[in-house]
Structure 1
């Protein structure tokens, strides 16, 4: 039976569950559907859409080598995909569609609708676990609920990994050539501007590039990950998140690369390896939470009571934050990094998010949306989870009374000001003491081209604590 492999965020040919299943069950044709209006509704960034297209170009070559033609179709919204797939299945006499599962509310509803449409025409639908190590709903508390505390979830993951370690799938064997050619791919999608060449060069496309990056990280930096991951001036993180978000790498490949450098151990042994595996499990945790609580896909807070929090309407301060004009160098440097590279160091994501939600007391949803509009690794579950953690509105979130001081964070994690100098050249001449807080120089010694602090840290902290305490009192 002819199989249609509908690829989405799984842009690789190796260790691809749905592709392997399709090619094991019959002649296979691959399909990718461009959905510009839907992507815009999800605030997907031009950086991410361009990354998808570049990886599709690389994947087409890989699929061609396997004898699998790649077809390209376009619909503006997902609601039209069912009819598109049905027509294609009828034209190609396809009897089964193979996909890798996705987990947002819109994705779930889309797949349910498409599966029902195909079923009425006698076309089978097969959805596979691929972008996660564990199926959502398979790890539950003793009361049968989804874990809401990460440390408990991690322990459950450890128990499951000890019983059964997910193994990467081999590359499928090539099939006989089909009388069908791959479609040409667009270089750009309408509504999504082409990123700069410098940004594109930072994120080379293709699974071979991704696997090489994984290997270099595992060999050179993984064992020091726990000591260097919080230092933004050092290349201490893997920078694999864009490849994981687009499915150019699988979590199984990442897990096994780590295990190879830790004698097969995932909860003991080298602290750097264990720390990085735990970060993979944080990614897993937030996707499980997203499935168990669909409202998170709809812009709602995990903690219901925080919907009543008295957020400030401060558009000028929001814009200053977005443009890196807060007057706090670490925050402004981080925002410049985001705008220039489509990526931000993980420690800094927490610092800038907490500054927006706590010091400026601006609704976390503004920050979540802006990040998605910029990030090349934008992922609904991870982005939402991180923002709600920082805003103290999410599951297992930081307590509301904990605020990262951006000056203290700067002194601790960029002690010499190396990261700040790179992204804020106007401050390059300051010594390593003054660069963290130029406002302390005052008067004639201030930096002419650098803004004054947007808020007083002590006063803004008090304002945030008062808002959360008022919320607590209203629910007593």
Structure 2
């Protein structure tokens, strides 16, 4: 029997349920990846992530070839062309069964349903996406949790009860085959600052756990230090699995942490956040359709503010921590998580600009862009998402800067025009610049934070009043 493994956002040979099952059940296995450049553009994914994808597909091709599995890279413009393309490939290769790991976006789910309807062979779908399978964590009413804290308690309870399963790299078939050369089309931006392939991802995971896991809770909020894992690009494309992250935590600490006071729990909690957003995406398809999690917030009167939006995009807002973060994103394709919260709050609560615009800008530039986490983070910041906290959470950019970049090291790296401003003044440098007759060195603040905060709260109050009337 000839089995076919359809790779998507699961570009790995280890802990890959679809690949593992296909190779256990047949001694003749092929693999395919279907590139849809038109769909990639429509989804707004970044050129740097596309380059990273191309490089990791090449690495996957080589790893599969060592197992005796040949990877074919097919191309069609959009998802609606995939069923016919895949059907023709299945017939040509005389495939008896298709194996794939679940893809969770609504367009992907519609594509997969159409594929299953067109193919005349068994299609087996696995959970290679989350530690805890989608839909298996529910309230007493059988519904998906809408708030993180009770969800996290249920997630931890489920993990305690059922554990997790880490699958090895399958045993190689009789002989190796030749790896194909992968060259995706479309706009690319150099991603070589990030090493590609499973070995590099595993090495990065091991290094983080050995060097930074113990201090993650204390250091993760400081962008000038290497306190975060920087594993998100690998998780976004499935080069690493969340199960592998759990196994690495357990290997480093001797056991998984299940309580807030335990070492390593802060990073495990980030994995739970990742799963929360992915489970939400499956439970509430509207999140894949540019809709707010809280439908009533779609009536919010956002500002159009094209000029200030451009200033935010270019890192010219006059708020140093915001500008440093945005310039870092545009240059490197990555942004520290604390900074993501700061700049998202600034766009939505200070500039009063629709979160959709920020979400799209991030996706167009991030190397780790993926719908569930990006959408979840933006809606959390905007006050439209799955969050129990009141809408009047508004980050003060100067206070955040003073707290998390006290000496201004991160700011100076990305805003060189403030390079010689003393740490005492760097978080709000305009008075110092005026005193030294250097007002023109740096952008003036595009908004007054105190006034903007009051307006943001009034915006939501007006919405609340409208609902109650």
Q: TM-score, normalised by structure 1?
A: 0.96
Aligned to 2:250: 259
Cα pair 1:357 1:391 within 8 Å, conserved: yes
Aligned to 1:229: 220
Cα pair 1:148 1:396 within 8 Å, conserved: yes
Query: How many angstroms does 1:269 deviate by?
Result: 8.1
Aligned to 2:467: 475
Unaligned runs of at least 5 residues, structure 1: none
RMSD after superposition? 1.3
Distance 1:15 1:304, change over 3 A: same
Cα distance per residue 1:18-69 (max 9 Å; x no partner): 1111111111101011110000010010111111100011111111100000
Cα pair 1:313 1:362 within 8 Å, conserved: yes
Distance 2:345 2:443 in 1: 20
The counterpart of 1:142, out of the listed 140, 148, 169, is: 140
**Residues 1:440 and 2:437 are matched in the alignment:** no
Aligned to 1:73: 74
Distance 1:50 1:272, change over 3 A: farther
Paired residue secondary structure (1:15): coil
Paired residue secondary structure (1:28): strand
Cα distance per residue 1:198-224 (max 9 Å; x no partner): xx2321101100000000000000000
Cα pair 1:438 1:447 within 8 Å, conserved: no
Tell me which moved more, 31-40 or 457-466.
Answer: 457-466
Aligned to 2:341: 350
Paired residue secondary structure (2:264): helix
Distance 1:411 1:451 in 2: 19
Paired residue secondary structure (2:363): helix
Aligned to 2:167: 169
Equivalent residues in 2 for 1:291-310 (5 A)?
Answer: 291-310=282-301
Paired residue secondary structure (2:406): coil
Paired residue secondary structure (1:143): coil
Distance 2:285 2:263 in 1: 34
Query: How many angstroms does 1:462 deviate by?
Result: 1.4
Distance 1:384 1:318, change over 3 A: same
Distance 2:263 2:230 in 1: 15
Query: How many angstroms does 1:272 deviate by?
Result: 4.3
Aligned to 2:100: 99
Equivalent residues in 2 for 1:252-401 (5 A)?
Answer: 252-268=243-259, 271-396=262-387, 398-401=389-392
Cα distance per residue 1:79-102 (max 9 Å; x no partner): 111111111111111010100101
Unaligned runs of at least 5 residues, structure 2: none
Query: How many angstroms does 1:266 deviate by?
Result: 2.5
Cα pair 1:33 1:75 within 8 Å, conserved: yes
Distance 1:231 1:443 in 2: 29
Distance 1:181 1:255 in 2: 33
Aligned to 1:215: 206
Paired residue secondary structure (1:211): helix
Aligned to 1:24: 24
Aligned to 2:185: 189
Tell me which moved more, 260-269 or 234-243.
Answer: 260-269
Distance 1:397 1:415, change over 3 A: same
**Residues 1:455 and 2:452 are matched in the alignment:** no
**Residues 1:6 and 2:6 are matched in the alignment:** yes
Tell me which moved more, 435-444 or 213-222.
Answer: 435-444
Cα pair 1:390 1:397 within 8 Å, conserved: no
Distance 1:340 1:65, change over 3 A: same
Distance 1:305 1:14 in 2: 43
Distance 2:35 2:175 in 1: 25
Distance 1:210 1:2, change over 3 A: same
Deviating beyond 6 angstroms after TM superposition, the runs of 4 or more aligned structure 1 residues are: none
Distance 1:80 1:37 in 2: 11
Distance 2:383 2:135 in 1: 25
Aligned residues: 466
